[in-house]
Structure formats: C-alpha cells, structure tokens
C-alpha cells in the first residue's frame, strides 16, 4: 500500500507535537530535518523557553544548517502576509491553536536575536565541553583547558607511546619489558600503533576494566572468560600433556603394532607416535607439535580418517584408542592457543595502561583534553563525581527539551550522557512541574560509524529505554516511522528495495530487528529517474613478455582501475553536455557526486581523467595534509633552507612548480658533480634561465629566514611571490585548501611554540593533520568526490558508485564480545579455537552488516540518476561484494531491468548493462558525444552505447513517425547531426582552440565515416562558427543538441514523441528551431525526413512554450545559409 502525502504530513505533525516525547525512524530522504525544525518551532510557539531547548547533532555543519533553517523560517514569519502566515502555522500543527500563536510567530525572530534566548544547537562533543567548562571543579579540570584537534591528539599519543617504550627499554628487566617482548613477537611498530589507537579510542570502556587491576588480575579474569580453570603457563600445560599419567601408553603401543600392518599412511602415523612415546620427557615437550600431526591437520582440525579400512577391519580396537588421543591432543592444543591469547592480551593491556597513564599526564601538563576526554569527563561528572547530584540538579533546571539528530550514530558512552541529563524527565512530577520531552530521529539502516563506536543495537535499546520510562509515568509517547521519500526518483527506490528487501537473503540485515521490514515509498513518482549497473571492468589478459621486451608502455594506463576512471569521466562529460538533466537541460558539475569507500589510487586516476577533460572537480573531501604534493614541496623547501646539503630536498624543490625544472635541467647540474647539489647549482651556467631564476629564488629565501618567522616566510612565498598560483597552475584548484591549511598550521604553531622553522617542520610532519572540505564549503561549480561517510546527509541529482568490488581490509585482530569483558588480542588466525572462532564469526557478521548499510547510504544519496560500476584487479569478482549483491538482486527482482551488450566487445562477453528507468532511452536523433582519441580504444563499446531494447517502468506506446521511403536522405541528415554536435562541442572554445577541438572530435568518430566526410564536417563547422551572419545562433540564450519530448497529434491521433533539436534560440516573444543539413539549397529540396523532424519539433516546442511563436529554419551547412521553413509546409506533415 502506497503511503500518501496526507499520511506522511500527519506523521510529521505527530512527530513535531511539543507535548509528546517521540522516537522517529526516518528512512533516507524522508524529511527528518524538517521534522526537527518543525518541532522546535512548535515548542517556541507553545511558550517553551528557547534557551531550555537542546538540540544535539552529529556534525558542526548539521548544527549550523539546523540553526540557519530555524532562523530563516522565523525571519520569514516577520514579513509574511497574514493569510500566508496563517496557512503556514496551520500546516505546522494542522490547526491554529489560538490567536496568540499568530502574534507570537511575528515576535519570535526578535526574541531569538538575543544569544541567551536562542535554542542551543550542539554536537555531543561541544555540549560536553560546555558542561565541563560550566562545572570545571566538579569535573576535575582547569576551567581554561584547550581541546586538542585530531592531529595534535595523535601526535601527543605517539609521543607518549615512544616515551614509555624508550623508558622501559632503557630500564632494568621488568614486567613491562617482558610485555614489550611478547607483543613484538606478533606485530611490528605500525601494527602496534594501530592496536594502541583502537584501544585508546575505547578507553572509556577499557579504563573501567583495567584501572584497578594488575597483570595478574587481568590474566585471571581472561582465564575465566576462556574457560581455563586457573592461570597456567604454556610450559606447564606441555609438561602435563607429555606425562605418562596423561597418556594411554599401552593402548597407543598396541595401536602402533596394528598400524604397521596397514597402508603407507598408517605406517607413517605409527612411526610418528612411536618416536614421541619412546622419547624422554624433555624431548616429548620439544616434539609435541610434530606428534600432533598424527592426529590433527596443520590448521588444527581433526584428521577424519585415523586408520585405513584394512586396519579398522582387522584391528577394531585401534580406532577408539586413536580417537581418544586425538580428542586429548585437541584439548591440549586449545589450551595452548588460549594461553597464548591470554599472554598476548595481558601484555598488550599492560602496555596500553602505561601509555594511557603517560598520555593523560602529558595532556594534564599542557592543560588539554581531546575529543574522547570530553565524553569521558562529562560522563564522570554526571555519574561518578562527588558533586554529581549538584551538577544534575543544575543541568535539570536549564534543559526542558532534548532533541537528538542522527541518533543511530550515537555511541553507548554518548547515550549515557544523554540519559543522565534527561533522567528527571520521566520521574513523575520531578523538580519542576511542566511538560518535558525527549525527541530522537535516526535510521537503523544508516548506522555506519562503528569506527567511532556508534552501535546500531544501542539505537534500538535506547528507543526501548525511553519508551518504557515514558510509559511508566503515563507520559505521552509516539513511535513513528517515516517511509515516504521526497528525495529519490522511483527507479532509484525500486533498486534499493530490490537489493535490501529480499527476505531469502542476508541483505535484509540492514533493517532494525525491532521493526518489520519497511518498503520505500516515492513522492517524486513522476520524476524521470535512471539506475544503471555497469559490467565490472576486469584486467586485460597480459601478453607474455620476453626478457628482451623494452618497458616502453605504462601498464597503469591500461589497468582496469584506470579504464573505469576514464569511463566515468567520459560519462560525466556526456551528462554535462547532452541535455539529459532535469527538464531536458544539461546537468551542472555541482549536481554530480562520486562516492567511494576509501580514498585511494582510483580517486587519483579519476581526478586526472576529469582534469584532462577540463571538468571542474572539487577533489576529495578529506586528505592528510602531509600527503598533498604541494605541502610536500613546501616541507622539502623547509628542509633545504635548514640544511643546504640536503640534495634530495633540493631536487624535489627544483622539480616543483616553484622552480619548474625538467629532468634534463636536473641532470645537467646533478650528473658528475663534485660537491652538493646546491653548490653545483650555484656554479652552473647563469645564462640558462631556469638555473638563474632558481639560484636567485633560493638565495633570497636563505636570506629571509634570518628575519622571518615560518608563517611570514611561507605566506610571503605563496601570496606575495605568487607561489600559490604556480601550484594551482600545475596541480589544480584542489591544492588551494591544503596550502591554506599549511599557513593556518604555521599560525597555530607560532601561537603555541617559539617561532622556529625546524620546530615547525618537525611539528607538521608528525601531527598527521587532515584537511576536511565541508560540503557547504565545496566549490559550487565542481563535481564532488566524497567518501560515503563524508556524504552522509548529502544528496545530488547524479551519483556514481565506482568502488563496489573491493572489500574492506581485514579488521583488527581484537575480539570484544561485549563491554563487560576484556578485549582479546588474537594475533594470528591459527590461534582461533571453537570458542574464539564463534566470537570472530560474530564480529565478521557485524562488519558485513555495516558494509551493507554503507551501500544503502550510498545508493540513497541519488535524486535522479544512479550509476553503479566497479573494477577488479583479478578476473574473478567476489561473491560478497556490493557489485555482485546489486547485480544479483537487481536482475532477479526487477522485471524492468534489461541486460544488453553489443556484439564484438571482447572485454566482457557475457556481461551487460542492467538498467531501470521510467523514461524511454532511444537512439533516435542522438549521436554519441566524442571523446579523446587517445582514450577511445581503452573504453569498452558499451560506454557510450544506448540500449536498443531498454524496458521502462512506464512503457508508453511510442509511434514511429519516420517514413521508410525517406531513408535515402539519411546520409545528409546524419552528417548534419554530426556538424550540429561538433558546433555545439566547440561553441565555448576560443577561436584559436576550435580547430584542435574539431580534430579531436572527428578522430573519435566511427571508422564508417570516411576521411573526406570527416573533413567536410570539420570545415563546415569551423565556417559556421566564423560566420558573422550566424553569430546569433550561439548567443547565451541558445542551446544545442537538445532532447525534447511530449504528446502531439499526428494524423488526428495523439502520440508520445521523443526527438532532438539541433539548435534552439530563445527570444522574449518567440523561439527559433534550426535543423542542420548538408547540400545546397539551390540544387536540392530539403529531405522529407528533415521537414518532418522540424514539423514534429515545432509542435513539441509549442506545447512546452505555450504563448510563444515558434519559427523553424534549415541551416545549409555547405553555404552557411539559413533558410526559413513556412508554417504551412510544417502543418502539412502533421495532418
């Protein structure tokens, strides 16, 4: 049953009811931000003190957006006509309660101008920070503490780690030194840093477990968890296992004699057992691992056949004896594995405890807290401090209504803070007798931040917790589910439901188990929508190379990853120019979003391909500052200034945009030099411009460093000396943000430390700072490349998902079954036993569920068009990757999906494009957009092919209006179309760039177009653009190669027609339609097919632009002459 707008409005009004607490589960695009804003407005209208309304959002940008929406709405109420305001207030609450509401709505904006009278919008971290600053003594911190950013916190943690490790290693033998030795057996420094970062990020849970426990107590509790009776060492277990009292020695000896009468395998097993049995005790311990091979495999699985059929039939007592010993060996092996896990975990936790203590000491000495500390300190202040009752009393008097946005991304520790501040809301009368409410909105299906400790199960548990509390005191409570999507077109929602609503598969795990599965409902059901699933780009078969083949080809240029980057870039160029956007217009760059799971080489390839096509692109949403090439060049410059003998840094500077050396220039001064590279440059030929300029540039900098601070030095270089522009010219606009952040880091460093270039360079290189480009700050005219996590809450008309084949890397080898037990570090999979294997399987299951929820978030960012594609480094594609999942369910469950693939494409002979659309895609009157000839051979043929048999959700009866008898003129018509496309392709290019553009265009045409015809197309196009009399055809209010569709009457019957206009010129009271034709008007009449096309386009234009006169003309391309076509001639063809 389809959910209508009335039902949805009713649910929204119920959710925004200020008298009732509510829990709203809102699927993607269902208007949760509107509901939040409406609820705050209704609270204000009902007289709730604005300062007592607390709204907790997930990000700062979300808080800013919410505040801006509220401010804009209140501002509009101050000037809105009375009738409009009454209607708006009625829509808000379904009725206008009292005349006072009308008056109050006019006054709310002025009231909220005062800071103390505004609703409070916070992230959970900023709220905790304000709470701690309000109660610093109770929280045990200095009131003037500073908050460390992520990079500074990481640098300080690394410093604490290095300090502890150095101190322990330099000191005498100790438990900590033994712990380091134990950990170092199983991981390297990078792995240890990763493990440590994970445990540190969970220090709220971890501290409660290890705070008062030493290594012995930790070890004892781990033994209990792993079902070991007591803490025993590996040596003790082996000694006990090798004693005669633990072995059925007689039974094994009898079995050995029997096995000698069997097969070769029996005799080998007998020999292994005999060698171990006859060895002394100490040799048995050393040889126990080899002895185990007689009973278990190398992966510690029981051998299924311990005896051959011959021995089993002749000596039936052998198999029971061997099976008994096999069980004993398995038991001992399991104990050894668990003991190793306990040893490793205890050592890791001991080190972590010590490093945590040092980390905390370092932060205290700097009077700093990091983001995790804010949550921990706030929680301790509300629960564990001696003054917690006083704090809660004060908080309770300042908060009456709490609203939680993106509730599914809230961690258990954050929920504890929220539970504390609303604890008095549901205790009956409470300290104040007034209506107090809790409101939360989120979506279980969109919980994707487990790496920030978000727990979707906690989302479900909190709903139950608050619901039970409200009902226990008979407080109003609403549990609401919003399913009507206002964002995505019908085909996109159909694809999402096909993938995630299949009951027979595991993919329905993204649903909240506390609710029945919900189906998306579409508000934009009539809007044109499209979903395409492209075949996976697989690697080409590598030709066998002999040792004598020269490496003259860049293999990366033909990699499957690079091919997909080209394909996506080509498709984007087509979308920007072919009129497939809303209302038959072209999409704009900022309407296209490319989502990836992770930032990696594919993003680099894609940026390169987009830039090569001069498509504006904003770059990735988050980068590590020191990974940016421009910043790396500046750091190299700093290293050189500090040490002019640093040849590598100088070489990097010379090759950078600052000096612009090529390889030959660098070779001239580097090869066979006597001293340093700098001395060689100083002695080089000063007549060569690059050498002279570089020498002068660097000598000037070396003089400036004695009087300038790091910020002044780099700011002068980038701004006054034009360095920023040099970087942008070579590296693109995506280098601007990193350069700005580098200067910000210089300011930050000088505000905290002595202004030293050496100190600044070291600080930046070790801070691991990141540059984040908020969505609101992104270039409004650029294609956006975002991670899926970064795109949460965003939308775009067109979305590409190219990263659908690669699975996430193996997660950390830490098992943490629940928050009440210690984490277990399992260094290798060989240490897994049945118990820990179950925990590991549970962890993998949760990871897979989040992996699928991430796909849901990605797919639901799209409004109009969604393209799903991927590349594989191997010929085989994983069964559990996104692409396979989507392919399986889209083709299986969408009857409208079609699979097409042109013959002759050797890249994926059995693959096809799966497409869902609610508007026809036809090849009539369309010509594929050109692409660079250097790329054309690397793209599969389906890249620009349009399906000949695409099905649609709504399949109209399209009537063909082309008379077969007129096909003799198809060459003239098609040539005219090609000229029209080339003219449109070159339209924005400068005059000097037109001919190179034309060359690229004709080079990309099909081989069926002869050389002579290509020249005609090129020459005619250039002449048309150069003709002064035709200049008006290319003014700003003109469009080329524009698709058009509609219902018109032909021969008295109404038909739905799809066509294309070669050129459309807009005027105030009329429009002109132009069709391009080859030939000469003096020697030939216009082809019937062209007149028929003009007649159809004229009729369609009249229906789309009612009230405007429509004129039609033919542009004869050979003579660059425009010939009007009479109205009577056009009407004749429609009668």
Count CB atoms within 10 A of the CB of residue 812: 16
Average pLDDT of the segment spanning 884-902? 66
% of the chain beyond a pLDDT of 70: 84
280 backbone dihedrals φ, ψ, rounded to 5°: -70, 170
Strand partners, 772: 622
Q: What is the pLDDT of residues 480-498, one digit of tens each?
A: 999 899 899 999 999 998 8
921/787 same-domain check: yes
Average pLDDT of the segment spanning 972-992? 75
580/438 same-domain check: no
Would you call 404 helix, strand, or coil by DSSP? strand
Count CB atoms within 10 A of the CB of residue 551: 7
Is residue 274 predicted with pLDDT exceeding 90?
Answer: yes
Q: What is the CATH number of the domain that holds 792?
A: 3.40.50
Q: Which domain holds residue 166?
A: 151-366
Q: Which of 149-153, 333-337, 420-424, 934-938 has the lowest mean pLDDT?
A: 934-938
Q: What is the pLDDT of residues 1069-1124, one digit of tens each?
A: 889 999 988 876 655 566 777 788 888 888 888 888 888 889 999 988 888 888 88
Total domains, the chain: 5
579/652 same-domain check: no
Most confident option among 360-369, 869-878, 965-974: 360-369
Count CB atoms within 10 A of the CB of residue 383: 14
Rounded to whole angstroms, the Cα distance separating 1058 from 961 reads: 10
338/248 same-domain check: yes
393/465 same-domain check: yes
Provide long-range contacts, Cβ within 8 A and 24+ apart, for 248-255. Answer: 248/321, 248/324, 248/325, 249/277, 251/321, 251/324, 252/277, 252/321, 252/325, 253/277, 254/317, 254/318, 254/321, 255/315, 255/317, 255/318, 255/321, 255/322
In which element (H, E) is residue 1030 found?
none
Provide the token pair at 249. 């020695």
Rounded to whole angstroms, the Cα distance separating 533 from 192 reads: 41
pLDDT of amino acid 213: 67
Q: What is the CATH number of the domain that holds 388?
A: 3.40.50.300
In a domain, 832, yes or no: no
Is residue 904 predicted with pLDDT exceeding 90?
Answer: no
In a domain, 519, yes or no: no
Kindly report the average pLDDT of the chain as a whole number. 81
637/561 same-domain check: no
Rounded to whole angstroms, the Cα distance separating 486 from 34 reads: 11
In a domain, 533, yes or no: no
Q: Domain boundary residue among 366, 384, 401?
A: 366
pLDDT of amino acid 757: 92
pLDDT of amino acid 734: 76
Rounded to whole angstroms, the Cα distance separating 677 from 669 reads: 7
Q: How far is CA 333 from CA 284, 326, 340, 836, 955, in A?
A: 15, 10, 11, 14, 65
**For 621, left (φ over 0), alpha (ψ -120 to 50), or beta?**
alpha
195/286 same-domain check: yes
Band of the pLDDT at 647, cuts 50, 70, 90? very high
Predicted TM-score of the model (pTM): 0.74
Average pLDDT of the segment spanning 59-72? 86
Q: What is the pLDDT of residues 1004-1016, one digit of tens each?
A: 665 557 777 888 8
DSSP label at residue 1043: E
The residue ranges of DSSP E strands in 463-549, in sequence order, are: 477-482, 484-489, 521-524, 530-533
583/647 same-domain check: no
Q: Which of 57-61, 255-259, 645-649, 941-945 has the lowest mean pLDDT?
A: 941-945
Q: How far is CA 432 from CA 39, 354, 397, in A?
A: 22, 46, 8
1075/1096 same-domain check: yes
Q: Domain boundary residue among 749, 772, 795?
A: 772
1098/991 same-domain check: yes
Q: What is the pLDDT of residues 911-966, one digit of tens each?
A: 468 888 876 654 333 333 333 333 333 444 444 443 333 333 333 333 333 333 33
Band of the pLDDT at 895, cuts 50, 70, 90? low
Most confident option among 431-440, 822-831, 955-964, 990-999: 822-831
Would you call 168 helix, strand, or coil by DSSP? helix
377/362 same-domain check: no
Rounded to whole angstroms, the Cα distance separating 933 from 637 reads: 39
Q: Which of 169-178, 439-448, 544-553, 597-606 has the lowest mean pLDDT?
A: 544-553
In a domain, 501, yes or no: no
Name the residue with tokens 């010219």.
729
* CB environment 10-35: b (16+ within 10 A), e (fewer): ebbbbbbbbebbbbbbbbbbbbbbeb
**For 47, left (φ over 0), alpha (ψ -120 to 50), or beta?**
left
The residue ranges of DSSP E strands in 777-856, in sequence order, are: 783-787, 796-801, 814-815, 824-825
Is residue 375 predicted with pLDDT exceeding 60?
Answer: yes
Rounded to whole angstroms, the Cα distance separating 117 from 50 reads: 5
Please report, to the nearest 10 degrees, the dihedral formed by the alpha carbons of residues 897, 898, 901, 902 taken in order. Answer: -140
In a domain, 543, yes or no: no
CB 204 within 8 A of CB 413: yes
Question: Higher confidence at residue 432 or residue 692?
Answer: 692
Q: What is the pLDDT of residues 566-596, one digit of tens each?
A: 999 999 998 887 655 554 457 889 899 999 9
Is residue 441 predicted with pLDDT exceeding 90?
Answer: yes
Average pLDDT of the segment spanning 312-321? 91
Count CB atoms within 10 A of the CB of residue 875: 10
Please report, to the nearest 10 degrees, the dihedral formed by the alpha carbons of residues 1036, 1039, 1040, 1042 taken in order. Answer: 170
The residue ranges of DSSP E strands in 707-773, in sequence order, are: 770-772
Q: What is the Cα Rg of the chain in Å?
A: 36
pLDDT of amino acid 950: 37
Rounded to whole angstroms, the Cα distance separating 956 from 802 reads: 32
Band of the pLDDT at 292, cuts 50, 70, 90? very high
Q: Domain boundary residue among 366, 395, 419?
A: 366
pLDDT of amino acid 956: 34
Name the residue with tokens 């005790």.
281
pLDDT of amino acid 548: 57
Most confident option among 385-389, 392-396, 437-441, 688-692: 437-441
In a domain, 717, yes or no: yes
In a domain, 126, yes or no: yes
Q: What is the pLDDT of residues 773-814, one digit of tens each?
A: 655 444 467 899 999 988 888 899 999 999 999 887 666 788
Q: What is the CATH number of the domain that holds 743?
A: 1.10.486.10
Question: Higher confidence at residue 542 or residue 870?
Answer: 870
DSSP label at residue 984: H
Q: How far is CA 730 from CA 1, 69, 239, 620, 696, in A?
A: 56, 40, 69, 17, 22
405/306 same-domain check: no
Contacts of 1035 (CB under 8 A, 6+ apart): 1065
HEC readout, 529-578: CEEEECCCECCCCCCCCCCCCCCCCCHHHHCHHHHHHHHHHHHHHHHCCC
In a domain, 854, yes or no: no
Rounded to whole angstroms, the Cα distance separating 882 from 879 reads: 9
Rounded to whole angstroms, the Cα distance separating 814 from 796 reads: 38
Count CB atoms within 10 A of the CB of residue 310: 12
Cα distance from N-terminal residue to C-terminal residue, the chain: 44
pLDDT of amino acid 435: 81
pLDDT of amino acid 323: 93
Rounded to whole angstroms, the Cα distance separating 372 from 756 reads: 31
Average pLDDT of the segment spanning 725-736? 84
């Amino acid at each position: 049953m389809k959910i209508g707008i009335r039902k949805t409005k009713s649910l929204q009004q119920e959710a925004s009811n200020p008298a009732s607490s509510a829990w709203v589960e809102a699927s993607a695009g269902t208007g949760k931000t509107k509901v939040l804003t409406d609820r705050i407005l209704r609270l204000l209208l009902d007289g709730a003190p604005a300062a007592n309304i607390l709204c907790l959002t997930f990000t700062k940008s979300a808080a800013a957006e919410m505040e801006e929406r509220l401010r804009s709405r209140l501002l509009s109420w101050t000037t809105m006509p009375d009738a409009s305001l009454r209607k708006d207030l009625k829509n808000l609450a379904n009725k206008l309660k009292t005349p006072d509401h009308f008056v109050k709505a006019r006054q709310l904006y002025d009231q909220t101008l005062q800071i103390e009278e505004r609703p409070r919008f916070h992230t959970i971290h900023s709220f905790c920070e304000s709470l701690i600053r309000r109660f610093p003594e109770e929280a045990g911190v200095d009131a003037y503490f500073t908050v460390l950013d992520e990079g500074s916190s990481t640098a300080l943690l690394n410093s604490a780690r290095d300090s502890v490790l150095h101190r322990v290693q330099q000191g005498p033998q100790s438990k900590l030194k033994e712990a380091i030795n134990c950990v170092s057996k199983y991981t390297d420094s990078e792995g240890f840093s990763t493990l440590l970062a994970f445990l540190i990020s969970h220090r709220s849970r971890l501290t409660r477990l290890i705070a008062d426990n030493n290594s012995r107590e930790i070890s004892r509790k781990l033994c209990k968890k792993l079902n070991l009776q007591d803490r025993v060492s590996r040596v003790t277990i082996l000694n006990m296992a090798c004693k005669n009292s633990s072995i059925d020695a007689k039974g094994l000896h009898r079995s050995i004699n029997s096995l000698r009468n069997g097969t070769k395998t029996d005799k080998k097993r007998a020999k292994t057992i005999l060698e171990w049995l006859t060895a002394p005790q100490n040799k048995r311990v050393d040889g126990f691992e080899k002895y185990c091979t007689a009973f278990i495999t190398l992966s510690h699985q029981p051998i299924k056949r311990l005896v051959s059929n011959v021995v089993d039939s002749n000596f039936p007592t052998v198999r029971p004896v061997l099976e008994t010993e096999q069980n004993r060996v398995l038991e001992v092996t399991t104990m050894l594995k668990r003991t190793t896990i306990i040893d490793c975990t205890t050592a890791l936790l001991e080190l972590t405890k010590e490093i945590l203590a040092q980390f905390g000491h370092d932060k205290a000495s700097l009077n700093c807290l990091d983001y995790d500390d804010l949550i921990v300190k706030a929680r301790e202040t509300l629960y564990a401090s001696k003054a917690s009752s006083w704090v809660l009393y004060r908080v309770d008097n300042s908060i009456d209504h709490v609203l939680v946005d993106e509730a599914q991304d809230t961690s258990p520790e954050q929920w504890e803070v929220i539970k504390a501040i609303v604890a008095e809301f549901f205790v009956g009368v409470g300290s104040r007798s007034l209506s107090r409410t809790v409101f939360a909105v989120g979506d279980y299906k969109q919980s994707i931040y487990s790496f920030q400790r978000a727990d979707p199960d906690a989302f479900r548990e909190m709903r139950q917790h608050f619901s039970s509390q409200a009902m226990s005191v008979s407080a109003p409570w609403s549990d609401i589910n919003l399913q009507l999507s206002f964002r995505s077109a019908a085909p996109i929602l159909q694809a999402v439901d096909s993938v995630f609503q299949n009951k027979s598969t595991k993919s329905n795990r993204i649903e909240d188990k506390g609710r029945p599965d919900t189906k998306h409902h579409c508000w934009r059901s009539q809007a044109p929508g499209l979903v395409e699933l492209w075949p996976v780009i697989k690697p080409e078969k590598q030709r066998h190379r002999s040792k004598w083949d020269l490496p003259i080809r860049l293999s990366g240029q033909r990699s499957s990853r690079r091919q997909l980057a080209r394909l996506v870039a080509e498709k984007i160029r087509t979308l920007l120019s072919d009129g497939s956007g809303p209302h038959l217009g072209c999409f704009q760059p900022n309407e296209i979003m490319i989502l990836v799971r992770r930032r990696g080489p594919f993003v680099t390839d894609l940026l390169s391909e987009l830039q090569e096509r001069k498509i504006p692109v904003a770059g990735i949403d988050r980068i590590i500052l020191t990974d940016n090439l421009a910043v790396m060049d500046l750091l190299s410059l700093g290293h050189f200034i500090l040490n002019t003998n640093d040849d590598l840094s100088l070489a990097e500077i010379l090759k950078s945009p600052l000096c612009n050396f090529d390889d030959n220039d660098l070779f001239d001064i580097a090869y066979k030099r006597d001293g340093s590279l700098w001395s060689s440059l100083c002695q080089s030929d000063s007549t060569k411009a690059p050498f002279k300029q570089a020498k002068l540039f660097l000598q000037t900098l070396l003089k400036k460093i004695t009087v300038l601070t790091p910020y002044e030095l780099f700011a002068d270089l980038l701004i006054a000396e034009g360095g920023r522009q040099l970087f942008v010219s070579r590296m693109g606009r995506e280098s601007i943000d990193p350069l700005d952040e580098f200067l910000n880091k210089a300011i930050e460093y000088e505000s905290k430390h002595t202004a030293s270039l050496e100190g600044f360079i070291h600080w930046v290189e070790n801070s691991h700072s990141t540059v984040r480009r908020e969505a609101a700050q992104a270039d409004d005219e650029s294609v956006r490349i975002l991670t899926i996590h970064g795109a949460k809450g965003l939308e775009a008309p067109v979305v590409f998902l190219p990263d659908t084949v690669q699975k996430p890397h193996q997660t950390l080898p830490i098992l943490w079954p629940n928050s009440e037990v210690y984490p277990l570090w399992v260094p290798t999979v060989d240490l897994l036993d049945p118990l820990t294997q179950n925990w590991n399987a549970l962890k993998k299951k949760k990871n897979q569920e989040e992996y699928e929820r991430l796909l849901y978030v990605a797919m639901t960012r799209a409004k109009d068009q969604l393209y799903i594609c991927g590349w594989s480094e191997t010929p085989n594609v994983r069964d559990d990757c996104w692409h396979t999942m989507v392919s399986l369910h889209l083709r299986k469950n969408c009857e409208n999906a079609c699979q097409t693939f042109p013959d002759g494409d050797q890249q994926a002979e059995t693959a096809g494009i799966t497409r869902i659309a609610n508007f026809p895609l036809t090849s009539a009157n369309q010509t594929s957009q050109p692409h660079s000839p250097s790329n054309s051979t690397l793209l599969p043929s389906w890249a620009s092919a349009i399906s000949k048999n695409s099905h649609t959700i709504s399949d109209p009866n399209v009537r063909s209006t082309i008379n077969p008898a007129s096909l003799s003129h198809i060459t003239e018509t098609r040539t005219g179309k090609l000229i029209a496309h080339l003219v449109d392709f070159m339209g924005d290019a400068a005059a000097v760039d037109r001919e190179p553009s034309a060359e690229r265009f004709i080079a990309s045409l099909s081989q069926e177009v002869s050389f002579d015809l290509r020249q005609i197309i090129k020459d005619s196009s250039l002449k048309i653009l150069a003709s002064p009399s035709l200049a008006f055809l290319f003014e700003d209010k003109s469009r080329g190669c524009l698709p058009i569709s509609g219902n018109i009457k032909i021969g008295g019957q109404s038909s739905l027609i799809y066509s294309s206009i070669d050129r459309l010129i807009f005027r105030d009271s009329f429009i002109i339609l132009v069709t391009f034709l080859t030939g000469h008007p003096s020697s030939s009449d216009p082809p019937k097919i062209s007149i028929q096309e003009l007649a159809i386009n004229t009729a369609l234009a009249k229906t789309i632009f009612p009230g405007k006169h429509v004129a039609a003309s033919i542009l004869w391309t050979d003579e660059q002459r425009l010939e009007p076509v009479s109205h009577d001639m056009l009407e004749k063809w429609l009668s």
